[in-house]
Amino acid sequence: MYEEYSRQALPTKQYRELLGSAISVFNSNNQFVIENILNIDNANFNWYDLIDRTSGRLNEPIKNTITANSNNDIAEIFKNLINKRNRIIHSFQITENNEQILRTKTKNNEQFTISETYLLEFVKDNENLSSMLHELQTQTD
């Protein structure tokens, strides 16, 4: 598929919408994690430092704040989402069934297609994390 703004082949509009939604909900949760860290301990952490960190570099502040005030569930879900997000971001475009779509590989060199189902599950998992973060914020306010 082509668009007037690009001569390059693109995935379908629905696939691109899901892809954009996946990135958006992850970015929202990344910020919400930072907000929860600061809500718990703004004496030892500041927004300027945390926002400049990659998502993976938030593990220690999460451990010292969120996990210390709840359990390890949020940290584990966030870590899994980071890994899935990395697979999306570090993917490569291919033609499959005469359509453009993304593929990725694991660190063990296993390749797989980033299907619409994968993206929808990613969005749903982010919704679950968001709910957990809301609940934590309510408990720590």
**pLDDT tens digits along 92-102:** 999 999 999 99
| 58 exposure class (CB count in 10 Å sphere: 0-12, 13-18, 19+) | buried
**Which residue range(s) make up the domain with 79?**
13-140
Spatial distance between the Cα atoms of 108 and 63, rounded to a whole number of angstroms: 28
| Structural domain count of the chain | 1
**pLDDT tens digits along 4-16:** 788 788 999 999 9
Mean pLDDT of the 107-129 span: 97
Tell me if 92 is assigned to some domain: yes
- Residue 85: alpha-carbon gap to chain centroid: 5
Q: Where are the beta strands (DSSP E) in the chain?
A: 92-96, 99-105, 111-114
Q: Model-level pTM?
A: 0.93
Tell me if 69 is assigned to some domain: yes
